[in-house]
Amino acid sequence: MIELKNISKLYKTKNGEITAVKDVSLTIQQGEIFGIIGYSGAGKSTMIRLLNGLEKPSSGKVLVGGQEISSISGGKLRAARQKISMIFQHFNLLWSRTVEENIAFPLEIAGVKKEERTKRVNELIELVGLSGREKSYPSQLSGGQKQRVGIARALANNPEVLLCDEATSALDPETTDQILELLLDINKRLGLTIVLITHEMHVIRKICHRVAVMEAGSVVEQGEVLQVFQNPQAPITKNFVMQVSGKKEAKESIEQILEHFTSGKLVKLTFIGTKSEQPIISHLIKEFDIEVNIVHGSISQTTKGSYGNLIIQLNGKDSKVEEALLHLESLEIQTEVIEHA
């Protein structure tokens, strides 16, 4: 659906050239929700402008739906952009227009007849959960409602791709979750390809199927979200995962335990999918006659399943503890004996 081939983007300034994107290659499948995450200055905003043709790459190719966006201009580019819609961090609504008038605006530009416009606007208002607010102005809406208008407007011309540029950054956590659930529902209902640009790992974890991590203009890591959470490779990815997986608190707990650790073994267990819901602890105590002390635990939900960490202290006869560890490994639970934080 979307393919970036060795994309680079350089800007010339009075102080010399700045590389905003450096040799990036990505493939985004039709109907998936793909996240691009990075801190400020990582090149995310440039990436999204390359995807919709607002910027031309200095080198490389951008293909959307088989069409090379990076090599067309004029009417062909405008026609291609009708298949690529966008929602923004600060909504970008027309403040002098009502909800229904904002949603109808791109249909007016496209020359859609009034009767058809009205029908489409009503469908979209219901889809995004704004029934009853049709005549309201943006100043009368909450942040979440404004973003719902932005999403409805972006869907007006039946796009194939929806680009989301920090679409939840201006919202509180509860409203963020509601908007993410709406995007997930739209993705499932319409089969829409969604590209999310964000600096929040919670957003990636909540709805994305795959993720690319950017740093200093380069993609330093990419893969399925569950795999990235399970085994982050790049230091920046580890920092992002730590933000939402409780790993920072786990490290502090381990440090405190190790200061006074005199017996037994400290073990980290990693669960994936349904294994995170199994009664492992009670089974260990009953089956192997050992003491199990839970030091720290957390479960993160992704679109491909649960990912959990549990840090436990095992006390008992050495032979029984070893048997318990072998049993855990036989259940395909990743097991690591911890000797330092």
- For residue 174, name the pLDDT band (cuts at 50, 70, 90): very high
Tell me what pLDDT residue 196 has: 95
Cβ-Cβ contacts under 8 Å for 307 (sequence gap 6 or more): 226, 229, 230, 245, 270, 271, 272, 276, 299, 300, 301
How large is the average pLDDT for residues 283-302?
Answer: 80
Check residue 209 and report its DSSP letter. Answer: S
How confident is the model over 192-215, as a mean pLDDT?
A: 94
pLDDT tens for each residue of 30-86 = 999 999 999 988 999 899 999 988 899 999 999 998 888 888 888 888 888 888 999
Backbone angles phi, psi at 4, to 5 degrees: -110, 125
Lowest mean pLDDT among 7-21, 31-45, 93-107, 295-309: 295-309
Listed by start position, the domains of the chain span 2-244, 246-337
Query: Sorting pLDDT into bands at 50, 70 and 90, what band is 189?
Result: very high
pLDDT: is 1 or 137 the higher one?
A: 137
Tokens of 317: 């006869």
pLDDT at 269: 83
Asked which of 195-199, 256-260, 285-289 is least confident by mean pLDDT, the reply is: 256-260
Residue 141: what are its φ and ψ, rounded to 5°? Answer: -110, 155
Task: Name residues whose C-beta falls within 8 Å of residue 15's C-beta, 6 or more positions apart in sequence.
Answer: none
246-337 belongs to CATH 3.30.70.260? yes
2-244 has which CATH code?
3.40.50.300
Q: Please indicate whether residue 302 or residue 215 has the higher confidence score (pLDDT).
A: 215
Q: Which of 166, 3, 159 is nearest to 85 (CA)?
A: 159
Asked whether the domain spanning 246-337 has the same topology as the one spanning 2-244, the reply is no
Write down the pLDDT at residue 229.
83
Quote the pLDDT of residue 286. Answer: 85
